Amino acid sequence: MEPIRSFDQLTSHLKSLNNRKRIAVVCANDPNTEYAIARSLEEGIAEFLMIGDAAVLEKYPALKKYPQYVQTIHVEDPDEAAREAVRIVREGGADILMKGIINTDNLLRAILDKERGLLPRGKVLTHLAVMQIPTYDKLLFFSDAAVIPRPTLQQRIEMIWYAIGTCRSFGILQPRISLIHCTEKVSAKFPHSLDYVNIVELAEAGEFGDVIIDGPLDVKTSCEKTSGDIKGIASPINGEADVLIFPNIESGNAFYKAVSLFSHADMAGLLQGPVCPVVLPSRSDSGLSKYYSIAMACLTASDRCDNPVL
């Protein structure tokens, strides 16, 4: 498999597989979610269980074009809809969970329920996003911009493992992972930079397999070779990062919002850690961003419908 370097290539690859993934959507009561679902149906990459107020859902004309691939489950209360969607996933009835117009906290409460949720004991819940930037020649993954405020060393290691797995799904066999800081210097003033040293040592010892990890590095040095050359920095990342691991949620989220606003980057993102991909867009995300997130989920989802895992 050739590496997927753009969202158009991602869609083309999924269409070539001819294997619709089943997605349980909670409260898809907004035009942008409707667009994402309608496009997924048209591209032939997914089928849907629409869980929410049927009186609202059945007004969407685009969904009526594909009755064989859309099922509506009437549940008026959003919290109950979230619990029902999680139950369906747990029992193998869907490959992917998706958030519509429901508060993130409400959906997470169902996902994180210790008895009936989707996060296996001991797993770390985090967020992995991917963007297509007009001035970068491939997709760029980054974590965590949405869930973990200040990752511990172990949480960073789990974030890296999730990123490696997703990169491999995209055909990136030797991902280049950059540990982001405001400088290339290690300092006790920034404890995460000390964690970076430990992570690089683990990578050099083969802990993560065939992967290149380096840091601390700044974003520009990670993604532009000339910047590293000017600074006299020799890094195996070589200005060609596939993944950026941010030190905290503030820096990751600021990067996310700034690049999407000023560089007009296309975005997708998923929760990592649950037993299935979870599409958790912001309620303000565009329909295109939500569609790309669905496509990302379809690529990374395993076939689960006949094999409940919990």
Whether the pLDDT of residue 129 is over 60: the answer is: yes
Residue type at 293?
S
pLDDT at 62: 73
**Closest CA relative to residue 141, chosen from 176, 174, 173, 171:** 176
Q: How is the beta sheet containing 243-245 ordered, strand by strand?
A: 70-74, 46-52, 21-26, 96-99, 278-279, 266-272, 126-132, 140-143, 243-245, 176-180, 212-217
Residue 310 pLDDT class (50, 70, 90 cuts): very low
Domains of the chain are 1-123+274-310 (3.40.50.10950), 125-270 (3.40.718.10)
Q: Looking at residues 126-139, what average pLDDT do you find? A: 96
What pLDDT does 120 receive? 95
For the chain, how big is the Rg over CA atoms in Å? 20
Per-residue pLDDT for 304 more than 60?
no
Identify the pLDDT of residue 65.
87
Measured over the CA atoms of residue 170, residue 144, residue 31 and residue 101, the dihedral's sign is: positive
Q: Identify the burial level of 137 via C-beta atoms within 10 angstroms of its C-beta, where 0-12 means exposed, 13-18 middle and 19 or more buried.
A: exposed
Evaluate if residue 20 carries a pLDDT over 50. yes
Model confidence, pTM = 0.94
Q: Taking residues 76-88, what's their average pLDDT?
A: 96
Task: State yes or no: pLDDT of 6 exceeds 80.
Answer: yes
Tell me the pLDDT tens digit for each residue of 108-117.
999 999 999 9
Residue 121 CB-density burial (10 A; 0-12 exposed, 13-18 middle, 19+ buried):
exposed
